[in-house]
Structure 1
Amino acid sequence: MASDTALQVLRRLDTGPRGLTDTEATARLTAVGENTPSRAHTTSWPRLCATGLRDPFTAVLLCLGLVSALVASWGTAAVILALVAVSCALRAGGEHRAD
């Protein structure tokens, strides 16, 4: 297919060098529908944030924050959990932009 000539491509598409007439274009639009790309599936923000927790460094930080909370070191726990939240938010934002 990559080595097809222009004439072969036009024949395969059932058209000519000048394109389709208005009548042919209307008939094809009615028969086939509009040439629009399908809507891409987007991942929800909570799921993007949850996938950020799969990063080993973030998971270790989360465990450390929970241990700090268990031993009632509230300041340390708050700082560590804030870092985990920021990390997840930044990762989710980056993945959202990449999609």
Structure 2
Amino acid sequence: MISKSYGPHRAPETLEPEPSWADSAACATVDPELMYPGPGNLPAYKEARRICADCPVQAECLADAMAYEGNATKKYRYGIRAGLSPAERADRYTRSRNQAAA
């Protein structure tokens, strides 16, 4: 039996990808490691929060984090997103679910 093999489909190079909200994020131009400080590294957490403080897409970032992380526990959430720690995002998610159920 003869089968055809098709290579990967690629968009023409004349098409530009649609811009993403993440392209406008304040953290888009910093070392990604800054946004994922290790446990107990308070100076690094403060620096990451400072970067987020004036970010023009903070709301989009938080919505993306909430959608991506869903009901994950605190131990499965990482980094600073929208200026919030993993624990803060988990608490916010739980509160929003409880309010929706009420």
| Fold shared by both chains (TM-score > 0.5) | no
TM-score using structure 2 length: 0.26
Structure of higher CA gyration radius: 1
User: Which structure shows the bigger proportion of residues in helix conformation?
Assistant: 1
